[in-house]
């Protein structure tokens, strides 16, 4: 767990200046106003920054508590570390990895958005801006590929969480909801967290795709 906690902490620290302290580059606005896709990227950047930071901090919290349980509580012997994790820390291990991966992908998305807006401000041509986006997308896709192969390999003895990052995330959600609603391990805060997280995602997507027309006041009619 420590090998995940340290990178997650570093990423969380890097997200604060990248996502909140340093303002996004703002292209010049002509008489038509800001470009719709620039405005969409600004909205998306803020949403991604909040979700990614929360995800990395959650990963750190899962890992910290798991390490404390490993050192303070006696556990029965297991064939390997992988079998121990599967038996006693299945949810914790999936949670640490899922939140770390989601935060990292969000971090790369923030880099891509900031790089694109900076290229527009710097006066890059469309080709130059496309090259910046392509560089960020290349890194993002390679990371997803690496994660997919890691998830598919599992513990090396046929035990795995699925074939891709989606399998990892769905396994995490399933295990978390199962523990939250189970009679023996009922957790109202965990259940509330899942519901609020789902509501946040839905409302965030709605805010990104809704038109700004509703914010424009209709012109007054002549008397």
Return d(Cα 52, Cα 61) in angstroms, integer.
Answer: 14
Lowest-confidence segment of 65-74, 102-111, 183-192 by average pLDDT: 65-74
- Residue 100's nearest CA partner among 65, 142, 147 is 147
User: Between these two residues, 72 and 127, which has the higher pLDDT value?
Assistant: 127
Longest C-alpha distance within the chain, in Å? 86
In Å, how far are 6, 23, 25, 118, 128 from 123, measured between CA atoms?
A: 38, 18, 12, 9, 9
E strands, 172-213, where? none
β-sheet bridge partners, residue 33: 30
Token pair 């090396």 is found at 156
Burial class (CB in 10 A: 0-12, 13-18, 19+), 154: middle
The whole model's pTM is what? Answer: 0.83
pLDDT band at 50 (very low <50, low <70, confident <90, very high): very high
Residue 8 predicted with pLDDT over 50 = yes
Residue 16 predicted with pLDDT over 70 = yes
Task: Name 152's Cβ contacts closer than 8 Å, sequence gap at least 6.
Answer: 160, 162, 163, 164
User: Between these two residues, 219 and 40, which has the higher pLDDT value?
Assistant: 40
DSSP-derived 3-state class of residue 30: strand
Return d(Cα 214, Cα 203) in angstroms, integer.
Answer: 16
DSSP 49-67: HHHHHHHHHHHHHHHHHHH
Q: What is the DSSP letter of 20?
A: I
DSSP-derived 3-state class of residue 101: helix
């Amino acid at each position: 767990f420590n090998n995940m906690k340290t990178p997650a902490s570093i990423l969380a620290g890097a997200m604060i200046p990248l996502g909140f302290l340093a303002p996004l580059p703002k292209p010049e606005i002509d008489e038509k106003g800001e470009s719709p896709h620039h405005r969409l990227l600004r909205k998306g950047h803020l949403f991604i920054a909040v979700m990614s930071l929360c995800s990395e901090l959650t990963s750190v919290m899962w890992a910290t508590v798991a390490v404390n349980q490993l050192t303070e509580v006696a556990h029965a012997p297991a064939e390997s570390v992988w079998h121990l994790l599967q038996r006693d820390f299945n949810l914790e291990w999936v949670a640490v990895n899922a939140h770390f991966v989601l935060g990292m992908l969000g971090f790369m998305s923030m880099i891509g958005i900031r790089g694109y807006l900076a290229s527009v401000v710097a006066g890059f041509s469309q080709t130059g801006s496309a090259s910046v986006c392509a560089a960020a997308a290349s890194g993002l896709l390679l990371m997803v590929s690496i994660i997919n192969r890691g998830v598919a390999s599992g513990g090396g003895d046929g035990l795995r969480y699925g074939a891709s990052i989606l399998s990892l995330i769905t396994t995490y959600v399933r295990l978390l909801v199962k523990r939250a609603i189970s009679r023996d391990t009922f957790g109202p805060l965990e259940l509330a967290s899942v519901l609020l997280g789902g509501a946040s995602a839905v409302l965030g997507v709605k805010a990104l795709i809704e038109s700004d027309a509703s914010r424009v006041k209709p012109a007054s009619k002549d008397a």
